[in-house]
Chain A
């Protein structure tokens, strides 16, 4: 790892100030960034640590939304009674990220900002139609995820909170890579008053994506059977040593049916 200057601002304004420097990068939980720095895949001159900014932590129910501070750790989301009561699918998702030690450090803001094509949280944001709050605006999830590790964030923009509308039913089904625990395929299904949204992670070459054909089928009838005739096109899907594009295409169907089955069974 190359050396850098380390800053620990106490508030957002000061963090934005440090970001104006040449080649500065934010560090949240560091569970992706530190391994990246060690491999010298990134070598920022300045690291700006967000952990001392109180405004970025906490979980609360605000009306029909669950609002989670960007620096909230995965373990905190997984253990939150507020989240468990309103969106159990989100608790389950957080509880399945990485391993216990990673969950004690990794944050929701970091995961969303990094937009790893195999990360779990982007699928929840997209399927639940979350809003990403930053220090300067609100971004709907549909406009936030722009491609492989790409988001709508400006270089000196900081995620402050993620707000999830509480759905009628939702579930996340993940087929984890047995070594890394990243999603080989993960499907988040959510149904609210407006309809059904299906988001897939782990499979798209351009990151997380929705599956309109599945959404239409589930709008007609919310049951695993509705998905039996929906074919997933393998073009544009990730192919690597862990699985071919065709394998992932098939797995999307399997995971989607499991998610719908689990969501249909959630008591409401």
Chain B
């Protein structure tokens, strides 16, 4: 079995896994980081989105072996010292979730969107950015609102930092 070594949420991890192990399986079953969800398992729903070397990817459509040497950040890696990430806080504040199943992927996708497009996001940009994330409860309205607010908060935090 191949050995994979990578950084997950700032911690170096390494394990022997079957070559066919998906990154999402590695995160959930080997590392017990179950915040990353498996929704459709067919690259459509985005519940499994994590960041690999700073970019949002669908972890159900990547092998753990392909992440050798990579820096992976999951939803568990966003909060710092017990304080929610501004995007997480914005989802809570704006009621951006109902059942919460899609939320980790939504938030990881949203943070990637802000990293790429900046903190002033119009509705169209947000909706297009969510092309690969499905939510079956909210009708997206409050998710879009949350992301607009989270983006502004991230921008503010960056300026303060």
Contacts and interface: CB of A to CB of B under 8 A. Distances in A.
A75 B56 CA distance: 11
B154 interface: no
Interface string B55-68: 11110011101101
A30 B63 contact: yes
B62 A34 contact: yes
Nearest to B68: A8
B66 A104 contact: no
B132 A6 contact: no
B43 to A, nearest CB: 6
Contact of A35 (B2, B19, B42): B42
Interface residues on A, range: 20 to 34
B18 interface: yes
B35 interface: no
Interface residues on B, range: 20 to 34
Given A3-B19, A34-B62, A105-B62, A98 B2 contact: no
Given A30-B63, A34-B63, A49-B66, A101 B57 contact: yes
Contact of A4 (B19, B41, B55, B109): B19
Contacts of B43: 31, 34-35, 102
A49 B65 CA distance: 9
A101 B63 contact: no
B66 A30 contact: yes
A100 B113 contact: yes
Interface string A87-107: 000000000001111101100
B28 interface: no
Contact of B41 (A2, A38, A75, A181): A38
A105 B112 CA distance: 14
B2 A6 contact: yes
B126 to A, nearest CB: 11
B132 A101 contact: yes
15 contacts: A8-B68, A34-B43, A34-B61, A34-B63, A35-B42, A47-B19, A49-B65, A75-B55, A98-B132, A100-B112, A101-B112, A102-B43, A102-B132, A104-B55, A179-B44
